[in-house]
Amino acid sequence: MEGLNSENQKNDPDPLSAPKIIGLTGGIGSGKTTVAKFIEDCGFPVYYSDDRAKDIVNDNEDLKLKIKALLGQQAYDEKGLYDRKFVSEIVFNDNELLHALNEIIHPAVRIDFEEWVKEQKKYLIFKETALLFELKLNRQCHRSILVTAEDNIRIKRVMDRDGKTYREVQTVMEKQMPEKEKIKLADCIIYNNTNLDDLKDQTEKVIFEIE
Q: Considering the chain, what percentage of its residues have pLDDT values greater than 90?
A: 88
| Angle between helices 32-41 and 196-210 in degrees, nearest 10 | 60
Q: Report the C-alpha gap between 52 and 62 in whole angstroms.
A: 16
Mean pLDDT of the chain: 92
pTM: 0.89
* pLDDT tens digit sequence for 138-166: 999 999 999 999 999 999 999 999 999 99
Amino acid at 116: W
Q: What is the pLDDT of residues 64-106, one digit of tens each?
A: 999 999 999 999 999 999 999 999 999 998 999 999 999 999 9
| 20-66 residue pLDDT tens | 999 999 999 999 999 999 999 999 999 999 999 999 999 999 999 99
